[in-house]
A and B are shown apart, each in its own frame.
Chain A
């Protein structure tokens, strides 16, 4: 299935892109997707655990199972204000 990844702030800079479409096996969870990305993007490995993740604009959990067409965003530490 296909999911759309969004990158913001430092993650966007390290990936070099603000969005990617990606094929993942059916049943992939947010946590599994993060571990896969952390193998590809060296900067992500500095995060000892998965950062907060949003699926379709709502905070989700590591074991949230992704579905076709989901918009997935791993979020660097927020710093509004």
Chain B
């Protein structure tokens, strides 16, 4: 299970590394306090959970073919998150740093474009918008 409404346990994620891992790359995506100049009070995440789990699984298999020595872990939050909370964490471990960095980067980039997860930003002025990376404004209603 890659998705959960429970907080992401970063120390236990880092504990997955083993002595043969010379490079450990941890990416953490965090809810920001502002978005496009507006103060954000919270973000709600939702997913097509069954499909999202399967898409992440497919993505991990594909990345493992490109960087066979790398091991990857992904955790993504669902539900309501406050600024400062980790929304996503990706851990990549490899014998050397190059593959760990590359696989971690590939994983977050693909997660953002192929995995059916959505987020709605709630602002201090009482308004809210769905985040839409395909639009210049970054949001839609």
Q: Which of A's residues lie within 8 Å of B, judged by CB?
A: 6, 8-10, 54, 57-59, 73, 75-81
Main SS at interface, chain B: mixed
Q: Which residue of B lies closest to A6 (CB)?
A: B48
Q: Which of B's residues lie within 8 Å of A, judged by CB?
A: 29, 45-48, 50-52, 54, 76, 87-88, 108, 111-120, 130-135, 140-141
Number of A-B contacts (CB under 8 A): 72
Main SS at interface, chain A: loop
Q: Which 4 A-B pairs have the closest CB atoms?
A: A80-B117, A9-B118, A79-B131, A57-B51
Contact status B140-A81, CB under 8 Å: no
Contact of A79 among B108, B133, B141 (CB under 8 A): B133
Q: Which of A6, A8, A58, A73 counts the most chain B CB atoms within 10 A?
A: A8
